[in-house]
Amino acid sequence: MSQQLSEQELVRRESLKKLRDLGINPYPQALYPVNALSKDIKANYEEGKKVIIAGRLMSRRIQGKASFAELQDSEGRIQVYFNRDEICPGDDSTLYNEVYKKLLDIGDFVGIEGVLFKTQVGEISVRVTNFSLLSKSLKPLPLPKTDSEGKVHDAFTDPEQRYRQRYADLVVNPHVKDVFVKRTRLFNAMREFFNTRGYMEVETPVLQPIPGGAAARPFVTHHNALDIPLYMRIANELYLKRLIVGGFEGVYEFSKNFRNEGMDRTHNPEFTAMEIYVAYKDYHWMMEFTEQLLEHCALAVNGTTKATFDGKEIDFKAPYNRVTMRQSIIDFTGFDIAGKSEEELKSWCIQNGIEVDDTMGKGKLIDEIFGEKCEGNYIQPTFIIDYPKEMSPLCKEHRDDPSLTERFELMVCGKEIANAYTELNDPIDQKERFEHQLELAQKGDVEATEFIDYDFLRALEYGMPPTSGLGIGIDRLVMFLTNNPSIQEVLFFPQMKPEKQGLILSDAEKTILDIVKSKSKIDLSELKNAAGLSGKQWDKGMKGLNKNGLIRVEMEGDQKYCVLQD
């Protein structure tokens, strides 16, 4: 398969060949004995120190027999100084004039042995005594430039290209790389927080026969040997609880979840949640645990508990406010939901411009009111507690009010980032709740869960200790901690529609097509002669063109003609 190469790509391929002709392997096998990183060199500068560094060549300023370049490694960039007489002590200046000046390009990986010094303008640099090509780059990178005032020109900003070619994005946009460094720091901080408390990181199935633990549309796949459908997990909650049944007293998992729903600025088909379950605790304990966890994480990621998101400063310093859902609705609307019937709630909604429909029960109506009138107002981290029972099928009934559950959600900047319960461990109650969900689903509530996980119920029948569980949307938390309003910015490879493949023709196909184009209809054997291709190439070319619907072979009596298709 051939592809259209740009002028610059052709030049680089030509350089590749010339390097080989000079006996230089552009993709050498041997390890390169790197012993220094750009960042450390700058931090612990020692005049005259010998170093061996490696990285990508990212800029060059050639001035005749001397040249400055920038080498970029995992930690940043450092200036390197190439001097012809230094590199080529004898008469043969090929290494400098040809290899360095002409055959190397921006983007190439090179290894450099050199000596540290400061230039006349005071920039820490490496005087190159020897260099070797480590890997040739054949495709020109986008090339943002930073001027003396720190302003970036020609920045690589097109989101489509950046997401589709994240590798290029990461090479040229250090601030993008930084987001992912912070993302990993967050994972590490959480693990450390849990591990020091004795909780255990576990793994549970991604392929599940019953997708449980959340209300969401799953991806379905099929296991051939078992000949059964399997679902990609939408949550790991039910599996972690089985482990609590099994005797672990604290388990957590960073869970890749998959939901077959719409995509937008805040939803990717696969996303990461962290769930943790701790035995003998309740949701009050979990609130304290959560605020301490987030304070710890914010500090570990950014060095401060404060973070800016969407122009607002938020502070993850514990403790956070706790507001009941009932009180929240009173605060923002003056309406008290306590003791109200479904009819009363519904008519209030209609009067206040909230859309309702017949599938909505009390819980759903209350949730709508909260979502519409309250949610967006919580900028600083705030626990909203005590949710209606109907919308929390896995959560234990409230100790003081049977219409409520012991549940909290943590709101930040008007968005939910954590959800926690005093977990329901009464197997009979749990079964009834599942059955109720099933009824709702059959009534047409798309949010209700339509599977009953009897194995999970069996586990509960053996007995699960009182337990509190917490789920945190990791991607969302990273968004808050790195001030990114889009989930795509915090995922290395956000899901995208497949790139459109332009029709790519082989050389043989092109040759044949050109001839057919010039005649529009041509005798087949005449065409074959004109193309001058080998039998095999001819056959391949014709088949390819036919398959792509570009040409057609027609019979007129004994004569075969090739016709251009449009």
Residues 61-90 that bind RNA (CB under 7 A): 61-66, 68, 79, 81, 83-85
Q: Which of 175, 222, 497, 547 binds RNA (CB under 7 A)?
A: 497
Q: Which of 166, 183, 233, 259 binds RNA (CB under 7 A)?
A: 259
User: Taking the complex as a whole, how short is the minimal distance between the CB of residue 542 and RNA, in angstroms?
Assistant: 22
Site for RNA in 383-412 (CB under 7 A): 409
Amino acid occupying residue 402: P
Nearest Cα to 115, choosing from 41, 64, 61?
41
Residues with Cβ within 8 Å of 1's Cβ and at least 6 positions away in sequence, in order, are: 504, 506
Contact between 529 and RNA per CB under 7 A: no
Between 39 and 60, name the residue whose CB sits nearer to RNA.
60
Site for RNA in 450-469 (CB under 7 A): none
User: Taking the complex as a whole, how short is the minimal distance between the CB of residue 218 and RNA, in angstroms?
Assistant: 12
Q: What distance in Å separates the CA atoms of residue 164 and residue 383, rounded to the nearest whole number?
A: 37
Contact between 510 and RNA per CB under 7 A: no
Between 118 and 197, name the residue whose CB sits nearer to RNA.
118
Contact between 421 and RNA per CB under 7 A: no
User: Taking the complex as a whole, how short is the minimal distance between the CB of residue 77 and RNA, in angstroms?
Assistant: 10
Contact between 520 and RNA per CB under 7 A: no
Only one of the segments 138-146, 275-283, 318-326, 435-443 lies at the binding site for RNA (rule: CB under 7 A); that segment is 138-146
Burial 413-427 (b: 16+ CB within 10 A, else e): bebebbbbbbbbbeb
Q: What distance in Å separates the CA atoms of residue 237 and residue 422, rounded to the nearest whole number?
A: 13
Q: Which of 1, 30, 31, 121 binds RNA (CB under 7 A)?
A: 121
- The radius of gyration computed from the CA coordinates of the chain, to the nearest angstrom, equals 32
CB 245 within 8 A of CB 459: yes
Handedness of CA 260, 263, 266, 269 (dihedral sign): positive
Compute CA distances 229 → 207, 213, 454, whole Å: 10, 18, 17
Only one of the segments 214-222, 248-256, 323-331, 540-548 lies at the binding site for RNA (rule: CB under 7 A); that segment is 214-222
Q: Which residues pair with 407 in a beta bridge?
A: 421
Q: What distance in Å separates the CA atoms of residue 48 and residue 50, rounded to the nearest whole number?
A: 6
Amino acid occupying residue 29: Q
Between 279 and 437, name the residue whose CB sits nearer to RNA.
437
Q: In sequence order, what DSSP letters do the residues of 412-476 get, joined into one string?
A: ETTEEEEEEEEB---HHHHHHHHHHHHHHHHHT-TTS-----HHHHHHHHH----EEEEEEEHHH
Site for RNA in 309-368 (CB under 7 A): 355, 367
User: Taking the complex as a whole, how short is the minimal distance between the CB of residue 369 and RNA, in angstroms?
Assistant: 12
Longest distance between any two alpha carbons in the chain, whole Å? 97
Q: Binding string to RNA for residues 28 to 67, with x set by CB under 7 A, is what?
A: -------------------------------xxxxxxxx-
Compute CA distances 506 → 9, 22, 509, 513, whole Å: 18, 31, 5, 10
Q: Which of 371, 444, 532, 549 binds RNA (CB under 7 A)?
A: 371
Between 452 and 524, name the residue whose CB sits nearer to RNA.
452
Nearest Cα to 138, choosing from 10, 237, 229?
10
Contact between 129 and RNA per CB under 7 A: no
Site for RNA in 260-319 (CB under 7 A): 261-262, 264-265, 267
User: Taking the complex as a whole, how short is the minimal distance between the CB of residue 483 and RNA, in angstroms?
Assistant: 13
Q: Which of 488, 505, 508, 544 binds RNA (CB under 7 A)?
A: 488
User: Taking the complex as a whole, how short is the minimal distance between the CB of residue 81 and RNA, in angstroms?
Assistant: 6
